[in-house]
């Protein structure tokens, strides 16, 4: 067996966070992720089975992975997702499991997922009206997502986090409603800058609504936003205490302590220097970056006669080859062939 040294890349970054895509299928068609029609999905035989995912996780834990997030495609369209959560939660060494979902199927699954051991849930919702929702997703379903958010809160998820992709020309009208929504419901709203991972290859830098613009709008329309660690040291109310998430989101609270807003400013303030993530796609390809142009086929090891040591070696080699950062802000940038739904966001 290989020695269990932590996963440290050549830039000194320690990796403890694994994102697992459980399917590339989805029940909506967000324009920044999927094509509108005629999507070529993976065959179900191509998807890693729950046994294969669990084995991969057991090997990754030996290398220091202790945090998992299930994603997709839409993870809740994968049958018996709660059973996978329960299996992964039982792996010794796993400290934390999250799911990112579009929320459409959540109302029926929230309680089972919570009972299976899931404690962190991010629900993607880009707009607070059905009409604008459809402009983003090219499908109906706004009411189902709102029901899903309420069901998640009833099931015990706390906090429930919302992910909203920030797109110039679409998101501006949603900023203040989202600020009020965060204050009224206790849901944490996180704006994610639109990234060049859309299937239509239509991303342009000019279409990104930047985090600082949203901060300015909220601060002048509602009240100043304070970085959460500052709010803590200023002794603001307990609702503003920071979660030491160690992730890419920058968290803010309104100055009166009511309402949390986060930002994933992947374009205007890339967080590559502190990236601690690796990803495995639904068809078992290991990726060391969302924007990576290379991937490692782990499924052939899992399905062939690859040993656990060979799988561990593949993970180490992938991490060792990780680049310093993405090149989205340079002329050298090449968009990966896989769009977001096929990578697992």
Which of ligand SAM, ligand SF4, none has residue 198 at its interface (CB below 5 to 8 Å by kind)? ligand SAM
Number of residues that bind ligand SF4 (CB under 6 A): 13
Which of ligand SAM, ligand SF4, none has residue 29 at its interface (CB below 5 to 8 Å by kind)? ligand SF4
Separation of alpha carbons 318 and 180, rounded Å: 43
Q: Which is nearer to ligand SF4, 84 or 145 (CB)?
A: 145
User: How far, CA to CA in Å, does 164 sit from each of 7, 188, 271, 277?
Assistant: 31, 11, 18, 21
Residues in the chain: 345
Which of ligand SAM, ligand SF4, none has residue 34 at its interface (CB below 5 to 8 Å by kind)? ligand SF4
**According to CB under 6 A, which one of 34, 189, 211, 328 is a site residue for ligand SF4?**
34
Q: Is 73 in the site for ligand SF4 (CB under 6 A)?
A: yes
Q: Is 341 in the site for ligand SF4 (CB under 6 A)?
A: yes
DSSP one-letter string for 249-275: PEEEEETTS--EEEEE-TTTS--GGG-
Q: How far is the CB of 37 from ligand SF4 (least distance, A)?
A: 13
User: How far, CA to CA in Å, does 64 sit from each of 25, 99, 232, 286, 321?
Assistant: 30, 20, 30, 16, 18
CB 63 within 8 A of CB 314: no
Q: How far is the CB of 162 from ligand SAM (least distance, A)?
A: 9
Separation of alpha carbons 98 and 117, rounded Å: 10
Which residues fall within 8 angstroms of residue 235, CB to CB, at 6 or more apart? Answer: none
**According to CB under 6 A, which one of 7, 60, 74, 314 is a site residue for ligand SF4?**
74
Q: Is 148 in the site for ligand SF4 (CB under 6 A)?
A: no
- Interacting residues with ligand SF4 (CB under 6 A): 26, 28-30, 33-34, 72-74, 102, 124, 340-341
């Amino acid at each position: 067996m290989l020695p269990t040294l932590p996963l440290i890349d050549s830039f000194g970054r320690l990796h403890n966070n694994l994102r697992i895509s459980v399917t590339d299928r989805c029940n909506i068609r967000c324009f920044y992720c999927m094509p509108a029609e005629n999507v070529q999905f993976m065959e179900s035989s191509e998807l890693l089975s729950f046994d294969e995912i669990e084995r991969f996780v057991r090997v990754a834990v030996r290398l220091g992975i202790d945090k998992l997030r299930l994603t997709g495609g839409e993870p809740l369209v994968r049958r018996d997702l709660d059973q996978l959560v329960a299996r992964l939660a039982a792996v010794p060494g796993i400290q934390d499991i999250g799911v990112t979902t579009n929320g459409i199927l959540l109302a029926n699954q929230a309680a089972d997922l919570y009972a299976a051991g899931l404690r962190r849930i991010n629900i993607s919702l880009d707009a607070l009206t059905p009409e604008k929702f459809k402009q983003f997703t090219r499908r109906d379903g706004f009411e189902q997502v709102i029901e899903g958010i309420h069901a998640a809160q009833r099931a015990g998820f706390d906090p429930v986090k919302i992910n909203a992709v920030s797109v110039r020309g679409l998101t501006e009208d949603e900023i203040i409603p989202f600020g009020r929504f965060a204050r009224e419901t206790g849901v944490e709203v996180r704006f994610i800058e639109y990234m060049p991972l859309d299937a239509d290859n239509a991303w342009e830098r000019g279409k990104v609504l930047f985090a600082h613009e949203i901060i300015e709008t909220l601060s002048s329309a509602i009240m100043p936003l304070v970085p959460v660690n500052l709010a803590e040291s200023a002794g603001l109310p307990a609702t503003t205490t920071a979660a030491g998430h160690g992730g890419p989101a920058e968290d803010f609270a309104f100055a009166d302590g009511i309402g949390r807003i986060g930002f994933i400013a992947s374009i205007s303030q890339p967080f590559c220097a502190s990236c601690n993530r690796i990803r495995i796609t639904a068809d078992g390809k290991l990726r060391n970056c969302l924007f990576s142009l290379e991937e490692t086929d782990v499924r052939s090891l899992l399905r062939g006669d690859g040993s656990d040591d060979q799988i561990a070696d593949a993970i180490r080699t992938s991490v060792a080859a990780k680049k310093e950062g993405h090149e989205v802000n340079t002329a050298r940038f090449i968009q990966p062939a896989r769009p977001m739904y096929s990578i697992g966001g």
